C-alpha cells in the first residue's frame, strides 16, 4: 500500500466505505460505475447489461494506483484503498485475472496487477472458463492466454477439476458483489 494512502487513513480513520462504483471484468480491466450506470443494473449477472458495466478506465497512472492498493478485507470483499476511503470492487469472475508469461516457468503466473504467483491447482467451470488457484488466491485465466493454458493441460502439467462457478466464492473465500454483501458496507 502506498505511504500516502497509509497517512490519509491515519488522518481520517472513519471515512465511509464506497460500494458499487468500481468493477473488475474477466479480462482484468477496471470500470468506473457512476449513479446512472449502477441504476442500469448490476455489474454482472442475469440483470446486467452493457450499460451497467460502466466506463472502461484507461488512465495508466490511475490504474497503477488502484492496482498497488488492491486487497481483500476479512470477509473476502476486495477493495481499492483510495486515500482514507475503501472503494469495494465488483468482480465479474474472480479477484485475480492470471496471465501466463511465455518466458516464465510453467508454474508461474502474473496477475492483472503485476503480482507474481505460483500455481497450486486448476479448475474448469460449467462455461468452460479456466480458473487457477495460486499462492495468491483464485483467479481466472485471461482469454488471450488460453492457448498456453490448454498446452499445459494437454501436457498433463495442469489437471483441472470440474466445478460450478457459483461454488467458487465460498470455496475460495471471496465476494463477487460487495455492494450486495452486508459486511462490506460500513467502516
What is the structure's pLDDT at 187? Answer: 59
Say whether pLDDT at 105 is over 80: no
One domain for residues 109 and 131: yes
One domain for residues 180 and 152: no
One domain for residues 116 and 77: no
| Contact predicate 172/138, CB 8 Å | yes
Provide the domain count of the chain: 2
Q: How many alpha carbons fall within 13 Å on the CB side of residue 107?
A: 8
* C-alpha to C-alpha distance for 22 and 87, rounded to whole angstroms: 7
Q: Which domain holds residue 14?
A: 3-94+173-184
pLDDT for 12-59, tens place per residue? 777 788 999 999 999 999 999 999 999 999 998 877 777 889 999 999
The number of residues making up the chain comes to: 187
Model's pTM, two decimal places?
0.91
Task: Label residue 25 left, alpha or beta by phi (over 0 means left) and psi (-120 to 50 means alpha).
Answer: beta
One domain for residues 102 and 68: no
One domain for residues 60 and 44: yes
Amino acid at each position: 500500500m502506498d505511504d500516502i494512502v497509509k497517512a490519509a487513513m491515519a488522518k481520517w480513520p472513519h471515512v465511509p466505505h464506497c460500494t458499487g462504483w468500481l468493477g473488475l471484468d474477466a479480462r482484468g480491466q477496471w470500470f468506473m460505475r457512476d449513479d446512472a450506470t449502477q441504476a442500469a443494473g448490476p455489474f454482472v449477472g442475469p440483470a446486467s447489461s452493457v450499460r451497467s458495466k460502466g466506463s472502461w478506465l484507461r488512465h495508466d497512472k490511475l490504474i497503477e494506483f488502484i492496482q498497488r492498493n488492491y486487497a481483500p478485507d476479512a470477509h473476502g470483499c476486495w477493495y481499492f484503498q483510495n486515500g482514507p476511503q475503501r472503494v469495494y470492487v465488483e468482480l465479474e469472475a474472480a479477484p485475480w485475472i492470471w496471465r501466463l508469461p511465455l518466458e516464465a516457468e510453467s508454474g508461474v503466473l502474473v496477475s492483472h496487477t503485476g503480482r507474481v504467483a505460483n500455481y497450486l491447482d486448476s479448475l474448469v467451470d460449467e462455461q468452460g472458463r479456466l480458473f487457477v488457484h495460486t499462492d495468491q488466491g483464485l483467479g481466472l485465466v485471461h482469454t488471450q492466454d488460453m492457448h498456453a493454458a490448454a498446452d499445459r493441460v494437454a501436457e498433463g502439467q495442469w489437471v483441472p477439476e470440474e466445478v460450478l462457478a457459483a461454488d467458487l466464492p465460498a470455496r475460495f473465500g471471496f465476494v463477487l458483489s460487495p455492494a450486495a454483501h452486508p459486511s462490506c458496507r460500513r467502516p
